[in-house]
Each structure stands twice: as structure tokens, then as C-alpha cells.
Structure 1
Amino acid sequence: MARPGEVGRHLGFDGEGDRLVTHHFECLDRAYTGWRWAITVTRASRAKAVTVSETVLLPGSGALLAPQWVPWNERLRPGDLGVGDLLPTEADDDRLTPGYTATGDDADEQMIFEYGLGRARVLSPFGRDLAVRRWHSGEAGPHTPLAHAAPAQCSTCGFFWPLAGTLRLGFGVCANEYAPDDGRVVAADHGCGAHSEATTMPSMVVEPAPPILDDMGYDELETGSVDETGSEPLGHS
């Protein structure tokens, strides 16, 4: 399996079982630094000849390895889903629960509204809590420079449309077309400069400073008078 010059010194052996031993050899291939050749040899019962059972290249200490494989559904990030992409959910997704299951404070309302209307699953309390933490800590939460500089919170803004159910006290949708979060879910304690009550605009007119008048002092100025010939000044005043 190895090309000439790729097998180095013997590194030891491990007893795998009766008449089964694995020998380890240093790998000299520069592409596999830190790896080792593992040659497993065995002898059949009552046989005298030893045969090679398996030969494999194994990583050793300091070997360069590929990153641990992560399933595709765990590699996805918000915004990765493109046009035409489908993201199926697992049958046992913890974020969802059957539509006829009570999910919280508004359970009675959900039981009446959801039962038999086509939605097989609805948001579970676990899925709701995940969304609450995600929204509250994101760009539409209270911990952003935009929210810190806002004149007031979204909960007092006329463009704030509260969500229904148990989330109405904490979240709503921004309906101000000039706001950066128009059409997005925002936390009630978020805020921006497009607040409906931010009607007092700072004046852009700069008032001139009053003139400084000194009635006590004076400056001597040299002036001259010209005689009829226009040649010499006659004196100073």
C-alpha cells in the first residue's frame, strides 16, 4: 500500500487477541505527517504461517485531520436558505407540537382556532422560548447602539403592532416605513429614531452672538487733510 521510502521505523505493537497482533510503523509521506502505518497480522489455529490481515494508515499524535463532520441541518445559519431551497423539519422537532395540544397561557384560544384547520403542528413552548431569546438578543433587541440612542422604546410607539397571544407583551411588528426595522419583529424595549412621538426636532438655525461694544476705550487713527493743491496733509486729528 505504501510507496518505497514511505515506511519508517517500527513504533511498537498491540495485542488485539489470540494470534492477532497489530504492528505500527512511522509514515514518512510528507502529506501524512503524524500518521502511522498499522499492519495487523494473524495466524490461523494450528497453522505455522503468519499472514497479513489488514493494512491501514491511522492518525497519530499531531496528525492533521479533517474537521469533525457536522450534519447539514446543523450547519445552516439564518440567511442561508435561498430561493427554491427546502428545509424539512424532523417529525420529532422540539420546536413544534401538534395543533390540538395546549401550548401555554393562550391554550384555549389555540384549541378552538387550530383544531381541524389544517395546521398539523404549531409552535411549542420550547420553540417559542428559543424565538424569544433569539429576537431579544438580536439586532431588533434592546442591546444595540440604535436602541440605546432612541428617544423612547418601541412599546410606546404608535407604529408598534403587538403580536398576538403570550408574546404580545414582549414583541411586536414595526409598521413605520421609514424605520430600519419596518416589517420585522422587534422587542418592546427596542427603539429607534423613527419613534412616533419623536416630534421635537433640534433647531438648525444658529443665533448670531450679540456684538461686543466697548464704550470706554478708543483707538487713535491717523487721518490727513488735503489742501487745495492736493499735495500735503495739513495735520492730524
Structure 2
Amino acid sequence: MTPLTASTTAPGDPVLLGAVDLAREVLLEQVDSADVGAATGAVAEDEHVVTHYFTCLRAGYVGWTWSVTVARAVGSDKVTVDEVVLLPGEDAIVAPEWVPYKDRIRPGDLSPGDLLPVEEDDPRLVPTYSFGDDPLDADAKAQIRQVAKDLGLGRVRALSPEGIDLAAQRWYDGDGGPDVPLAQSAPAKCYSCGFLMRLSGHLAETFGVCANGNANDDGRVVAFGHGCGAHSEAQLSRKQQPLPPADHAHDTLTPDELESL
């Protein structure tokens, strides 16, 4: 729901604009009088449609506004009420936009024992071997699984081209991509790092896995254009090198000389 902007009195049907008392009367028939404050204005929605606004005083609804829409037929002075609605204003606290459960899950959300099954028609996955473009019914899908098991193929389904593209874009845009601050300030890129373990398959020319135990990305997929200060060929500049220790000072005073000081 889009928050309501501050209402102002606008040009419109004078009869409807003057129906403030009627709008309040109808509003009080539906809500407690203690919840209704002063009229804050009216807006002409159409030639013969006007909405009146009243401050909402109900506890927990700070910044909300009562909205009463009135109308009349052409040539008639009789005012009728279309609707009574409670709307959020600019300063109102509203619930965030609803997101489906499966879209709310993020890496790290799963706990031991949790299951996250994929849908049968997940576009990121395709049968390990192709059966053409004809749609498969439930029985055919079960047969695919059984045949794959009998043939010892291991995986019934594998990543589809769409699934590969989605993963690649997600990794490229994530913390292991080339545009994060860590990579921008790195002395060199991951493609030239000795700690990079290259992938095989479709993504072999774009991504690898970091194997530097001292790096932030150890064990994670990184783009070739990523980088960090733990690059295998990183060298400290002369200014960054630690200062050599000072020469040892030898105390040559004898006990007698020390007492005479």
C-alpha cells in the first residue's frame, strides 16, 4: 500500500466539498468518536467525486488518515457515500511488502535438519539426459528418476542453462565479484593468484575457488576480476615494510663507574 500524501483542498464539486459534516457523520457510524480528529482537507477525485480526510487518533495508528469518499449524480443535490477507508500517511508505520517464503530464504538461513525442496518445474534444473521438448507428466518424471538410478547416473537433474546463468550473475554481483571495495583496492586480480583453484565446465573461464586460508574468501567462489590484499604475488612497498630493528646498545659501565655517576 502506497502511503497517502498530505491532503489539500482542491477545486471540485462545491456541494461535495461542503459535505464535511456528512462525511464525519458517516465515519462516526463505523468508528469510535475518540478515534476521529479534525478534518484535514478534501481532494476532488472526479467531477462529481470528492474524498474528505480526517486525522486518525486511534492508538497505534500515528500518521494514518480516515478517508471518506462522497459523490452525487449530475443534476442531483443528494450526496451519497462511496466508501470509508483508513489510509497510511507519509509518517505512518506500515508493514513491509509481502515476500513469498521461498524468496525470503538467504544463504545461511538453513539449520541442521532443515529441508528446502525444489519444485518439479524449477527452471534452474533439467533432466540429466534430454527427453525432447514435450512436457512430462508426473509418471514420466518418476520414470526418469528410476532410469537414472538404474543407469547409475547419480544425479537425476543437472543445472539448466538458465540455472547456470542465474548462479553466474549472482556470484558476479556478490561479495566475490569485481565491483566490491575489497577488489577495487586489491594489488592484483584473482585470475593471476596462485591460490585460485579453477573450476571446470561452463564457468571455468569466469570463476574459481579461493584456497588461501588467510584470505576473506577462502573456500568461496570468486570471479577472475575479484581480488584482495592476500594475492599470492602481493608485495609490500618500501614505505609499508617494517622498520629494521635498531642496533643493540652495549652497557660498558663497571659497577664502580656507575656508583660514581
What is the SS of the residue equivalent to 1:89? coil
Q: 1-side partners of 2:120 and 2:243: how far apart? A: 64
Aligned in 2, Cα 1:96/1:59: closer, same or farther, shift over 3 Å? farther
Check whether the contact 2:211–2:219 (CA below 8 A) recurs between aligned residues. Answer: yes
Q: 2-side partners of 1:95 and 1:144: how far apart? A: 26
What is the SS of the residue equivalent to 2:171? helix
Q: 2-side partners of 1:75 and 1:35: how far apart? A: 33
Letter in 2 for 1:163: L
Partner of 1:221: none
| Equivalent residue for 1:89, pick from 118, 135, 140 | 118
Check whether the contact 1:95–1:126 (CA below 8 A) recurs between aligned residues. Answer: yes
| Equivalent residue for 1:153, pick from 183, 189, 193 | 189
Q: Please state if 1:205 is matched with 2:250.
A: no
Q: 1-side partners of 2:208 and 2:186: how far apart? A: 17
Letter in 2 for 1:184: R
Aligned in 2, Cα 1:35/1:97: closer, same or farther, shift over 3 Å? farther
What is the SS of the residue equivalent to 1:142? coil
Aligned in 2, Cα 1:86/1:35: closer, same or farther, shift over 3 Å? farther
Q: 1-side partners of 2:65 and 2:181: how far apart? A: 49
Q: 1-side partners of 2:216 and 2:115: how far apart? A: 28
Question: Whose helix fraction is larger, Structure 1's or Structure 2's?
Answer: 2
Q: 2-side partners of 1:66 and 1:149: how far apart? A: 39
What is the SS of the residue equivalent to 1:172? strand
> How many percent of aligned residue pairs carry the same amino acid?
51
Aligned in 2, Cα 1:145/1:34: closer, same or farther, shift over 3 Å? closer
Check whether the contact 1:147–1:191 (CA below 8 A) recurs between aligned residues. Answer: yes
| Equivalent residue for 2:153, pick from 101, 109, 117 | 117
Letter in 2 for 1:189: G
Q: 2-side partners of 1:135 and 1:186: how far apart? A: 7
So what's the TM-score if we normalise by structure 2? 0.50
Check whether the contact 2:185–2:228 (CA below 8 A) recurs between aligned residues. Answer: yes
Compare CA radii of gyration and give the structure with the larger one: 1
Check whether the contact 2:188–2:227 (CA below 8 A) recurs between aligned residues. Answer: yes
Q: Please state if 1:129 is matched with 2:175.
A: no
Check whether the contact 2:183–2:226 (CA below 8 A) recurs between aligned residues. Answer: yes
What is the SS of the residue equivalent to 2:208? strand
Letter in 2 for 1:85: D
> How many residues get paired?
168
Which digits, 9 at most, give the CA deviation of each residue in 1:58-113, with x for residues without a partner?
Answer: 76797x875554321122233322232221111111111111149xxxxxxxxxxx
Which digits, 9 at most, give the CA deviation of each residue in 1:137-196, with x for residues without a partner?
Answer: 111111122112212111111111111101011000011111111111000111111111
Structure 2, unmatched stretches of 5+, are: 1-29, 37-53, 69-83, 132-148, 245-261
Structure 1, unmatched stretches of 5+, are: 9-26, 38-56, 103-113, 207-237
Check whether the contact 1:154–1:188 (CA below 8 A) recurs between aligned residues. Answer: yes
Q: 2-side partners of 1:168 and 1:183: how far apart? A: 16
What is the SS of the residue equivalent to 1:161? strand
Q: 1-side partners of 2:95 and 2:169: how far apart? A: 33
Aligned in 2, Cα 1:84/1:4: closer, same or farther, shift over 3 Å? same
| CA displacement at 1:116 relative to structure 2 | 3.9
Check whether the contact 1:5–1:28 (CA below 8 A) recurs between aligned residues. Answer: no
Q: 2-side partners of 1:91 and 1:59: how far apart? A: 42
| CA displacement at 1:34 relative to structure 2 | 5.5
Aligned in 2, Cα 1:67/1:146: closer, same or farther, shift over 3 Å? closer
Q: Which has the higher contact order (CA 8 A, sep 6+)?
A: 2
Aligned in 2, Cα 1:59/1:160: closer, same or farther, shift over 3 Å? same
Q: 2-side partners of 1:80 and 1:129: how far apart? A: 23
| Equivalent residue for 2:229, pick from 185, 188, 193 | 193
What is the SS of the residue equivalent to 2:126? strand
Q: 1-side partners of 2:97 and 2:227: how far apart? A: 41
Q: 2-side partners of 1:80 and 1:126: how far apart? A: 24
